[in-house]
Amino acid sequence: MLTATAGLVLLLAPWLARATERASKRLAATAVPLPCGLGTADVPTALAAAVAVGASVLWLWTSHWVLNNALAVGLVVMFVTLGRVPSGRVAAILLFGLLLYDVFWARRRRGDGAWRWRGRP
């Protein structure tokens, strides 16, 4: 869960940096103190961390599939970033392999009920 949250921060921080830079260059460069004595971070990174932690907590509370997929994308981004994939072609092959694994192995091992959507009342 922690790795997926950190990956989601890595995924969201550049987008939020671009958005805050367009809004105000001074806001994008402002340092924000982090809680628990963790130091400081710029505004886009602090916003990305807040969104990622919020998504993680919301997923733990609701178990919604959209939040699960967002955290999975964050996890994949973290692995691709730390794994130093040599080219885009290799990254595409690895991501396609993860898709095949998810569809044909993980879902089949759970039984037929995994193919149906189960909403919460």
First-to-last alpha carbon distance for the chain, in angstroms, is 26
Q: What is the pLDDT of residues 70-97, one digit of tens each?
A: 888 888 888 878 888 888 898 889 888 8
Confidence at residue 29, expressed as pLDDT on a 0 to 100 scale = 72
Output the CA angle 13-1-32, nearest 5 degrees.
Answer: 35
* Predicted structure pTM score: 0.66
Give me the pLDDT at residue 121, please. Answer: 43
Query: Tens digit of pLDDT for each residue in 48-62?
Result: 989 999 999 998 999
Residue 109, pLDDT score: 55
Q: Which is higher by pLDDT, 6 or 119?
A: 6
